[in-house]
A and B are shown apart, each in its own frame.
Chain A
């Protein structure tokens, strides 16, 4: 107890020292003043001194107040704190004084730490996911897994019923599947939504109370009870305007009325990233490994390990043959895995190692930047050799000097870290918004700056400050005192040693090596943005029209009638010129391999196979898109169900030099010896490419084959609507209403301008090129700063020599060459080394030789120009050195 009291007392004292220093100072001042006053009064009273003399003598008896105050601070541990505070404030003043270094270093550190923190956070979320509720780490999934992990199967409806009855090691066993239905809830637009069809045990496992109403209950799973639905908080606000009377409201879900019974909290998305939940109604007639895809989950019983659960499961679920009947496949076995790993696919043991390595690599970027900045700090520290030597002579220890240099570097590192964390926060915000909008990211993965990431960034800053401040300091403060004192007279022998000059050369080489890749990426991205799809994509709206297929395939005749009805309604709308359907958005059809009939293709090329894209389209689709016919004709209604196909220009060029492709025959092949479909198809027409993708980023326009298809044979289908003029405002909402009026179950998903669709697809390259440009800019800036530091250092070291030579009439050009010759040689060496690395990298990719040579030449020129620009300032300073000033040195 006494020890505890003592420890608490020490903690209180330390707290007062840290946070109440000013009050402590005032207290100390008051105490000592009172002491002197009382001593003076005693002397007056007992000896009869006059007050002034008594006060003087009291001061003498007391001794040096400031010295005892200092001793008092040291006793309280304030000494080192005050020293650090002074050094840190000095470091901040140095930042203001050397603005060039501050801007250069701060920018580079901000970019490096921004990239490192963003990668650390996003990658960390992937490998350390945990469900954000009580005992979330106890939630597991059950799946079938063969020896080949890719052979996992989810058709486990029959087994789920057995497991739910017999498993004891896993409690609250539940299942879910994701389905899509049309939600019709005026005044909001009809909208296809993603729902979790889930057992009530999912809510019991999550142990999360609803905001309003209730969550699903076991009774709701009875098919005879009225259908109910639970919604998420974001949906409640966005779609229902936060209506406080939402519970009990009836909405139309896929043509069936559902009653809203509850609203879940904002951060709830179990089982994956859902905002709508309906009861899971299990059908008992599915066989093993048969039925719809469902995910089974549960919670490990109290005190039960995953291994124990696995052992029990093995006794209940024997191996099952593959439902496809392929006897060569190894029987699948039921396995228990952590729930989050099941959805983020961390089953591969090497995956975690890979992700950790990626975290380390991106974090190491900061060290690369720090080493670069160390060069600049070294050049600056060397010019302060005299100051450091004087401090050493006055009693400062080497540790004290290194501490000062470390804190100066730490000031810059923290500035960079703060800016980097700000950049990272913005980037993570965009990523989080993108993930939310795009879907497909589990709700338990949140991209925001965690305390672990901030701590990691601070740790990186401290290590970077050690590299930037202490390493150069060790070299500078390790020299003999006399040599350093001579620096005060300008006779320093300090040089930028071989290591540091090598680092400067490597810095330049790195910039030259990186520049071509960044320039190439930026140029290719610009090509994509500038050239576009080469047809009037802004006059088209595309959407996905789908009939749900959760439990059974849709009736083809019903589907055909509804697709025809939709197209008829759309064509009747004002300003609509035409409407059609296809299996894919133009430019994004599925890939296939074909083999040609050599008898029908004259002079068939040696490799008679071709990778193509296959599109099934309405007979009028090519007319709607107004594609130019280059040979033969377009598809017609009579081509439906026949072997007639039309190809695009890229396909035809592949056969160029062998006559017209008209009449050529081919069939679709496969990887096995036996083709999938033995039917032959004949080319009856050639149309121009649409979209025509610029030859950029290896995204060549694919060879496309168009097959005529009848309504009802494609589900989901892409509906394309063409307008004569601009697309009217609100038309996409109108499309959703039309679909809901034809059939409430029919889903019209995300109608959008075709041009917008293409922009979204290519936007990733834009963001990548921005990131690459940012990183390249920081490398360039650091290289320029390194060259500037090198040149400045040279001028500073040879001031006397330069002044004398100018006084003796040396020609400026010759003088500059002799002074900067060494630095220019290093610049040249760096450019050559970087060019060699670039050349090797360029040769590894499929780039045109002339383009590659031009790119390398341009980059080498840019880097040389940057180096020369960096030299201008020091060069002008050197030519302006007055001879008198130069001679005064060492006088």
Chain B
């Protein structure tokens, strides 16, 4: 496996929204879900996850509730709110446009100019 790449600034929030959109998760679960959906290609500072979660909760894009984890521990579970779902949609579309534009730019050959 190639070395994991650092996250670009501003992308952690999007990944968190995506991870939570796939199911209610606690903080550690969000980390594992991100590693799973990225195939381990992105390196996430584990502690940085929590300021991101709190920021998204402050913006009412995700909601939280205390519950019991799979190993019977008290854990805080996060779920996506309707506003969060809408934001995920717009950010995903925006990212796709950006990625598409970058891919086009980076694959341009001399003959295409």
Q: Report A's interface with B, CB cutoff 8 A.
A: 2, 5-10, 13, 27-28, 30-32, 34-35, 37-39, 41, 61-65, 67-68, 71-72, 74-77
Contacts and interface: CB of A to CB of B under 8 A. Distances in A.
A37 to B, nearest CB: 8
Nearest to A10: B60
Contact of B46 (A35, A75, A77): A35
Given A2-B86, A34-B73, A75 B47 contact: no
B26 A72 contact: no
26 contacts: A2-B82, A5-B83, A7-B60, A8-B60, A9-B60, A10-B59, A10-B60, A13-B58, A27-B76, A28-B50, A30-B76, A31-B50, A34-B69, A34-B74, A34-B75, A35-B31, A35-B50, A62-B46, A62-B47, A63-B45, A64-B47, A67-B47, A71-B48, A71-B51, A72-B54, A75-B55
Interface of B: 26-28, 31, 45-48, 50-51, 54-55, 57-60, 63, 66, 69, 71, 73-76, 81-83, 86
B51 A2 contact: no
Contacts of A41: 71
Interface centre among B47, B50, B69 (most CB of A within 10 A): B47
Contacts of B71: 38, 41
B28 A30 contact: no
The 6 A-B residue pairs with the shortest CB-CB distance, nearest first, are A9-B60, A63-B47, A68-B47, A71-B51, A75-B55, A38-B28
A5 B86 CA distance: 13
A31 B57 CA distance: 15
A39 B28 contact: yes
A64 B48 CA distance: 10
Contacts of B27: 31-32, 34-35
A65 B47 CA distance: 7
B60 A63 contact: no
Interface centre among B46, B75, B76 (most CB of A within 10 A): B46
Contacts of A31: 26-27, 50, 75-76
Contacts of A65: 47
B76 A75 contact: no
B83 A35 contact: no
A32 B82 contact: no
Contacts of B69: 34
Contacts of B63: 9
Contacts of A64: 47
Given A61-B46, A76-B58, A6 B83 contact: yes
Contacts of B86: 2
Contacts of A71: 48, 50-51
Nearest to A60: B46
Given A10-B60, A30-B76, A35-B31, 14 more contacts: A6-B59, A9-B63, A27-B76, A28-B50, A32-B27, A35-B27, A38-B71, A63-B47, A68-B47, A72-B50, A74-B51, A75-B54, A75-B58, A77-B58
B30 to A, nearest CB: 10
A31 B76 CA distance: 7
Nearest to A30: B74
Contacts of B31: 35
Contacts of B50: 28, 31-32, 35, 68, 71-72
Nearest to B73: A34
Nearest to B46: A62
Contacts of B54: 28, 72, 75-76
Contacts of A6: 59-60, 81, 83
A350 B69 CA distance: 74
Contacts of A68: 47-48, 50-51
A2 B58 contact: no
A75 B28 contact: no
A39 B46 contact: yes
Nearest to B76: A31
B83 A2 contact: yes
A65 B59 CA distance: 23
A529 to B, nearest CB: 67
Interface centre among A62, A65, A74, A75 (most CB of B within 10 A): A75
A260 to B, nearest CB: 63
